[in-house]
Structure 1
Amino acid sequence: MAYLLDAKHKSSYLMGMNKLPLAKRVQILSLLCEGSSMRTISRVVDVSINTVTKMLVDAGETCAELHDEMVREVRASRVQCDEIWSFCYAKQRVAKTTGNADAGDVWTWTALDAETKLIVSYYVGDRSSESAIVLMDDLRSRLANRVQLTTDGHKAYLEAVEGAFGDDVDYAMLVKIYGDIPEAHKGRYSPAECVGARKQRITGNPDKAAVSTSYVERQNLTMRMSMRRFTRLTNAFSKKLDNHMHALSLYFAFYNFIRIHKSLRVSPAMAAKITDKLWSWEDIIARMDARETPKPRGPYKKRGADNSN
């Protein structure tokens, strides 16, 4: 007996057949933000690596939209900015030999509210002044009031902060002073010892006692521990830049909305009063499902059916 389904019913039918159970989807997203590699997740959850990748892409796009929509009109007092290094496909020194345009160093720029620990803004790019400008313009658009801003001594921040804020900011740089690298440590992965820091006023009247990047640097450590692709001195690096960016969008949504901050006892988003509830992975998945727009197709027809009527 022949049967027909219109495009809407066919899409719903296929979606119901192919979608993972909610518990497995929650488990995949949770593991992605707890330091597990994608292939580890594939084995633990017993799904294909393509399924994990598809979940990462869908969740990353959804979480990027969530951040852009929700993290607005943030009332902060002290904002700290920093950038953290990683790489995609290959390190910079051999990137040109790979033939991959995305290969090389990747820098993640972040702006964090020191009081609520909210990641107000982030950007993935290189370490140039153009990337700093993008971060600062985005940060300015998300703030509801004048803030005290602290960055490290990276010169790219100077032009970026001036262009985004003008004089409407109390801005200072924390310039760290490093000693010489011991001869025995040269050529190894061992940064020079920080022997001091200089607080330098740039714009406005920043409180010298509050000039610090400690919180955002601690957040960098959390990122390295929470995302496998940020782990140093291993083969756990991003192979595709797009997936790297999706992983970051997923992580920042998890950090801001789902994860309870140990010292605050609420999520950073709740502390910043941009939401009144603790979000869950089920909330993220609901948004993922809501943004799915099935492509219109012709009627579903059983193979071998007589379609003359």
Structure 2
Amino acid sequence: MNTLNMNERCRIVAALVEGNSFRSIERMTGIHRDTIMRLMVRVGNGCARLMDEQMRNLRCERLQLDELWAFVGMKQKRASQLAERGEFGDAYTFVALDADTKLVPCFHVGRRTWTDTAIFIDDLRSRILNRPQITTDAFAAYYGSIRRAFNSEVDYAQLFKVFASETNAGRGRYSPPEMVRSEKEVLIGDPDPEHVSTSFVERQNLSVRMECRRFTRLTNAFSKKLANLKASVALHYAHYNFVRIHRTLRMTPAMAAGVTDRLWSVSELIEATGSEEQIAA
């Protein structure tokens, strides 16, 4: 039975984190797409465990939180018509970003609900040692979850973005609405108004859409299974934290945050996830 060697696995993982689809990688490497899928899921699940182990006892002064939309199987409108929706429909990736080191300490893939918000905030709280300043959008579920998880030992503000009320006339069907202004509201503690922002995390969301194929809009690259989406997201953030050099920092976010003292290679990431065992080609 043919198996993938480390060089082949590195080529596949490197292509995946650059936004290539399974079929394009199949054409470039000659490796069957089912094998590529199995490797992605195995390495992605290992990356989730790696992130859980490594992102502990952190000191993040300014955190920006956001949600990134995708869907599984079908859009929400169609999924809501099913007798049993299951895992189909909207899937949101909650993500936290350290504005100083650009580190992603944690993420959570689920629904945009109060329950999933609480799970995400509780996970974030378990990783932070200091009293951080947190900025989120106006999603109502954040306030109660942050107050409860941090026991008010946090400086928290929400950023409201007000968009034009017109129906986007003349801007194109897929053009974003025009933002008129933004408003800041302090909810807990005494956050610095100059650092009440979600700009960095929103810019990182663009990187996700560029480099994680399942988030590319208006294509057939969406996830057909929730487990595959979770594995893909974990692979992206682990590679982002440990392997990809941030152009502004000139080091990886994990190095900037003191999580590691060296630049990781793709092969080291694969080995760290426990995914070095042979995979049938």
Which residue of 2 is the match for residue 272 of structure 1?
Answer: 257
Gaps of 5+ in 2: none
Partner of residue 218, structure 1: 203
Query: Percent identity between the aligned chains?
Result: 46
Contact kept? 2:6, 2:276, Cα under 8 Å: no
State the distance in 2 between where 1:58 and 1:278 align.
22
Shift of 1:234: 1.7
| CA deviation map 1:175-198 (0-9, x unaligned) | 111111336369933332111111
Task: Report the TM-score, using the length of structure 2 for normalisation.
Answer: 0.94
Q: Is the 8 A contact 2:57 2:128 kept in 1?
A: yes
Query: What residue is the counterpart of 1:112 in the other structure?
Result: 97
Which of 137, 146, 159 in structure 2 is aligned with 1:152? 137
- Deviations along 1:139-196, whole A, 9 cap, x unmatched? 1001111110100111111111111112100001111111113363699333321111
The number of residue pairs the alignment matches comes to 277
Q: Does 1:163 align with 2:141?
A: no
Please show how residues 279-290 of structure 1 align to structure 2 within 5 Å: 279-289=264-274
Match of 2:217, SS state, is coil
Pairing 1:85–2:79 present: no
1:194 alignment partner, one of 174, 179, 182: 179
Give the structure 2 partner of residue 36 of structure 1: 20
Question: Which amino acid is the alignment partner of residue 77 of structure 2?
Answer: R
Structure label with greater radius of gyration: 1
Q: Deviations over 1:250-290 (max 9, x none)?
A: 00000000000000000000000011111111112223456
Q: Which moved more, 1:254-263 or 1:123-132?
A: 123-132
Distance of 1:148 and 1:261 partners within structure 2 = 23
Q: CA deviation at 1:50?
A: 1.3
Whole-Å separation in 1 of the counterparts to 2:274 and 2:74 = 34
Task: Check if 1:250 corresponds to 2:217.
Answer: no
Shift in CA distance, 72/222, structure 1 to aligned 2, threshold 3 Å: same
Of 108, 113, 117, 1:123 maps to: 108
Question: 1:247–1:213: structure 2 CA closer, same or farther, 3 Å change rule?
Answer: same
Counterpart amino acid of residue 162 in structure 2:
I
Shift of 1:19: 2.7
Offset from partner CA, 1:59-97 (integer Å, 9 cap, x none): 011101110000111111100000011111100000145
Secondary structure of 2:224's counterpart equals: coil
- 1:49 pairs, out of 30, 33, 36, with 33
Shift of 1:100: 5.7
Normalized against structure 1, the TM-score is what?
Answer: 0.85
Unaligned runs of 5+ residues in structure 1 are 1-16, 294-309
Give yes or no for the alignment of 1:179 onto 2:179: no
Separation in structure 1 between the aligned mates of residue 142 and residue 150 of structure 2, nearest angstrom: 12
| Partner Cα separation in structure 1 for residue 21 and residue 260 of structure 2 | 30
CA–CA distance in 1 between the matches of 2:132 and 2:273?
34
Which amino acid in 1 is paired with 2:19?
G
Measure, in 1, the Cα distance between the counterparts of 2:58 and 2:18: 27
Deviation (angstroms), 1:39: 1.4
- Preserved CA contact (<8 Å) 2:242 2:255: yes
Cα distance in 1, alignment partners of residues 47 and 178 from structure 2: 38
Q: Distance in 1 between matches of 2:229 and 2:71?
A: 9
| CA displacement, residues 93-147 of structure 1 (integer Å, 9 cap, x when unaligned) | 0014566621101100000000000001100011111111111101100111111
The secondary structure found in structure 2 opposite 1:120 is coil
> Counterparts of 2:127 and 2:164 in 1: how far apart (Å)?
38
| 1:4 paired residue number | none
The answer as to whether partners of 2:239 and 2:269 remain within 8 angstroms in 1 is no
Residue type of the alignment partner of 2:118: I
C-alpha displacement at 1:30, in angstroms? Answer: 0.6
* Aligned-partner SS, 2:105: strand
- Check 1:163–1:208 CA distance in 2 against 1; reply closer, same or farther (3 A cut): same
Q: Does 1:71 align with 2:55?
A: yes
